[in-house]
């Protein structure tokens, strides 16, 4: 398959045959990062389910001593969390991360960080979370999914390039996209969230955008080919010196020559 030239992909482009192959590629990258003792920036969403399954599989296949070594040095910061939800809520990202990684891998408590959705003052929590991230030295490898409206984390359009970690109101489009985790009811999706901003995302040493499926082909094309702009938050990634894209053939379908 020949693709349009994408000169701003400073970290490289991988087009894999399907979502499973994408997941394996990203899991291997995460594993290399963990092995090097790096701090990970983690995302949630359906795209990440396959990625975390592949990562678990890699880790569980290791001799237990080697796995323990890696797990004990785990350091990660998640992108975002819904306001009003805690780890006991099925729809929370804290619950998702517990199921996907923290519980099966028995991660030491406190090693997988995520904004506290139950904080009484979410704006204060956002500032404290950004501070904790800065104190830890920032993120080395930031993994990202793509929202149907071009959001990254929960940075909803319009979003400037330098938005900071904050509490914000979610768009109707995003609540619809994420309704599956809330019994299919968009109105059951919390109205607000805390998210790392484009500023913190772009401050990571490397960013890796993961996109699978035909439904994202059009928005991906816009984010890669239209001028970087607030209406397409993911388009700001093209300003990053190490922006890497891993996609499957379906997501790449609008990028063919």
Out of 47, 100, 116, 149, point to the residue binding ligand GLP (CB under 6 A).
Answer: 47
Out of 122, 153, 157, 197, point to the residue binding ligand GLP (CB under 6 A).
Answer: 153
- Catalytic (active-site) positions: 80, 149, 151, 156
- For residues 143 and 234, give the distance between their C-alpha atoms in angstroms, rounded to a whole number: 12
- Measured CA angle at 150 (ends 149, 155), to 5 deg: 100
Q: Are 208 and 143 in contact (CB under 8 A)?
A: yes
Cβ-Cβ contacts under 8 Å for 229 (sequence gap 6 or more): 235
- For residues 80 and 174, give the distance between their C-alpha atoms in angstroms, rounded to a whole number: 13
If one asks whether residue 145 binds ligand GLP (CB under 6 A), the answer comes out as yes
If one asks whether residue 45 binds ligand GLP (CB under 6 A), the answer comes out as yes
- For residues 159 and 111, give the distance between their C-alpha atoms in angstroms, rounded to a whole number: 30
If one asks whether residue 154 binds ligand GLP (CB under 6 A), the answer comes out as yes
- For residues 238 and 241, give the distance between their C-alpha atoms in angstroms, rounded to a whole number: 8
- At 113, phi and psi to the nearest 5? -95, 150
> How many of the chain's residues bind ligand GLP (CB under 6 A)?
14
Interface mask toward ligand GLP for 69-108; x: CB under 6 A: ----------xx----------------------------
If one asks whether residue 41 binds ligand GLP (CB under 6 A), the answer comes out as no
Interface mask toward ligand GLP for 10-39; x: CB under 6 A: ------------------------------
Q: Which residues bind ligand GLP (CB under 6 A)?
A: 43-47, 79-80, 145-147, 153-154, 174, 178
């Amino acid at each position: 398959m020949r693709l349009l030239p994408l000169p701003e992909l400073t970290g490289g482009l991988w087009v894999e045959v399907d979502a499973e192959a994408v997941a394996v590629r990203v899991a291997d990258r995460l594993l290399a990062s963990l092995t090097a003792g790096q701090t990970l920036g983690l995302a949630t969403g359906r795209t990440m389910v396959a990625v975390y399954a592949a990562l678990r599989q890699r880790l569980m296949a290791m001799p237990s001593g080697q796995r323990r070594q890696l797990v004990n040095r785990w350091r990660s910061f998640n992108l975002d969390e819904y306001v009003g939800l805690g780890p006991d809520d099925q729809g929370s990202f804290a619950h998702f991360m517990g199921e996907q990684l923290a519980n099966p891998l028995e991660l030491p408590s406190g090693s997988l960080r995520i904004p506290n959705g139950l904080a009484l003052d979410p704006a204060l929590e956002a500032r404290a979370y950004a501070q904790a991230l800065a104190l830890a030295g920032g993120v080395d490898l930031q993994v990202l999914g793509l929202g149907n409206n071009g959001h990254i984390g929960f940075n909803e359009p319009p979003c400037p390039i330098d938005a900071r970690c904050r509490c914000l109101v979610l768009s109707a489009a995003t609540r619809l996209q994420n309704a599956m985790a809330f019994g299919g009811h968009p109105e059951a999706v919390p109205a607000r969230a805390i998210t790392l901003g484009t500023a913190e995302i772009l401050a990571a040493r490397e960013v890796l955008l993961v996109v699978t499926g035909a439904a994202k082909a059009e928005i991906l094309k816009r984010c890669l080919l239209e001028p970087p702009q607030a209406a397409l938050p993911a388009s700001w990634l093209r300003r990053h010196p190490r922006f890497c894209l891993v996609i499957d053939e379906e997501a790449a379908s609008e990028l063919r020559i």
